[in-house]
Amino acid sequence: MISLTNMTQKKWVKACRRLNLVVDKKKGKGSHYRIVNPANNRTQTLPSDCHKFISIEIYKSLLEWGITEDEIDKAIK
């Protein structure tokens, strides 16, 4: 797992799109976005303030969806 200290909402959006996930900017409440896995319709909220602990939870959610660590790390870079 790479360092998630400097991850921002914008970086997570780019990474999720590289992983072929749907980022819905209109379905989240306020400045939050919704990430949808089209394969199984699971969702994850992406807040505007993505500090380290929130980034770790997003990373874990992507792992639970069946995306490998290597794929996530490559998308984040």
pLDDT, average across residues 56-60: 90
**For residue 34, what are the domain limits?**
9-76
Is the alpha carbon torsion for 39, 43, 44, 47 positive or negative? positive
Is 1 a member of any domain?
no
Does the pLDDT at position 1 exceed 80?
no
Whether residue 27 has pLDDT greater than 80? no
Phi and psi at 50, nearest 5°, equal -100, 80
Q: How confident is the model over 20-49, as a mean pLDDT?
A: 85
Q: What integer best gives the mean pLDDT of the chain?
A: 87
Asked if residue 70 has pLDDT above 70, the reply is yes
Q: Read off the pTM.
A: 0.84
Query: Domain with 38 in it: what CATH number?
Result: 3.30.920.30
Q: Has residue 65 been placed in a domain?
A: yes
Which band of pLDDT confidence, cut at 50, 70 and 90, is reported for residue 7?
confident
